[in-house]
Chains A and B, each alone.
Chain A
Amino acid sequence: EIVLTQSPDFQSVTPKEKVTITCRASQSIGSSLHWYQQKPDQSPKLLIKYASQSISGVPSRFSGSGSGTDFTLTINSLEAEDAATYYCHQTSSSLGYSFGQGTKLEIK
């Protein structure tokens, strides 16, 4: 089983700040890493797929990078609407996918 560990678990930030969330895999997963945003009582929304591929309709302030075991989600110029929990998700191992534990972002 591939374990994904996100950091931090929680972050309180001010609008217009730059935010970086990291996701570390317990073994190499190539670029099979995806990022989601989830707001209360909503389904997860895909932000970035395959580590760095942008998604149509997602604001350009969201970007992803990394490969192998270390990945980063960056939010440039944070907006109030970005308050949410963010998850990474790996689809490298067909025997079992997994999610990170989540990073809750609070806007001050």
Chain B
Amino acid sequence: EGQLVESGGGLVQPGGSLRLSCAASGFTVSSNYMIWVRQAPGKGLEWVSVIYSGGSTYYADSVKGRFTISRDSSKNTLYLQMNSLRAEDTAMYYCARGVEYWGQGTLVTVSS
């Protein structure tokens, strides 16, 4: 079944950068498709990005060109590099393995 633990969230100024991590245990990140999903305070779920086992990556239009999804097989960890952050990026960020297994999330706040 496995476990996912996100980290790296925090308070950042507009225009700043942050890298989120999603440490996996019990399964191999690189053998699965992994996604990032975010949820702004009081709002619904928004798909952010996906990385497939073959390495292909795709992004929501709202983050394309600013966010980069990647993985490190040696650390069995998924990442989300977030640059040029905006106030509207403020959200809880979740990583998930396919559709079934989700982490508890890490909160990103973009504010001056």
Contacts and interface: CB of A to CB of B under 8 A. Distances in A.
Interface residues of B, number: 19
A97 B100 contact: no
Nearest to A103: B44
B99 A91 contact: yes
Contact of B47 (A36, A99, A101): A99
B84 to A, nearest CB: 20
A101 B100 contact: no
Contacts, number: 48
Q: How large is the interface on A (under 10, 10 to 19, 20 to 34, 35 or more residues)?
A: 20 to 34
A49 B102 contact: no
Interface in A59-99: 85, 87, 89, 91, 94-99
A87 B45 contact: yes
A9 B110 CA distance: 29
A44 B45 CA distance: 9
B102 A99 contact: no
Which residue among B44, B46, B100 has the maximum number of chain A CB atoms within 10 Å of its CB? B44
Contact of A96 (B47, B52, B99): B47
Given A34-B99, A43-B94, A94 B52 contact: yes
Interface string B83-112: 000000000001000011011110000000
A93 B86 CA distance: 27
A46 B47 contact: no
Given A44-B94, A95-B58, A102-B44, 10 more contacts: A1-B61, A38-B45, A43-B102, A46-B100, A55-B100, A85-B44, A96-B61, A99-B37, A99-B44, A102-B45
21 contacts: A1-B61, A34-B99, A43-B94, A43-B102, A43-B105, A44-B37, A46-B100, A85-B44, A87-B45, A89-B47, A91-B99, A94-B50, A94-B58, A96-B47, A96-B60, A99-B37, A99-B44, A99-B45, A100-B44, A101-B44, A102-B44
Interface of B: 35, 37, 44-47, 50, 52, 56, 58, 60-61, 94, 99-100, 102-105
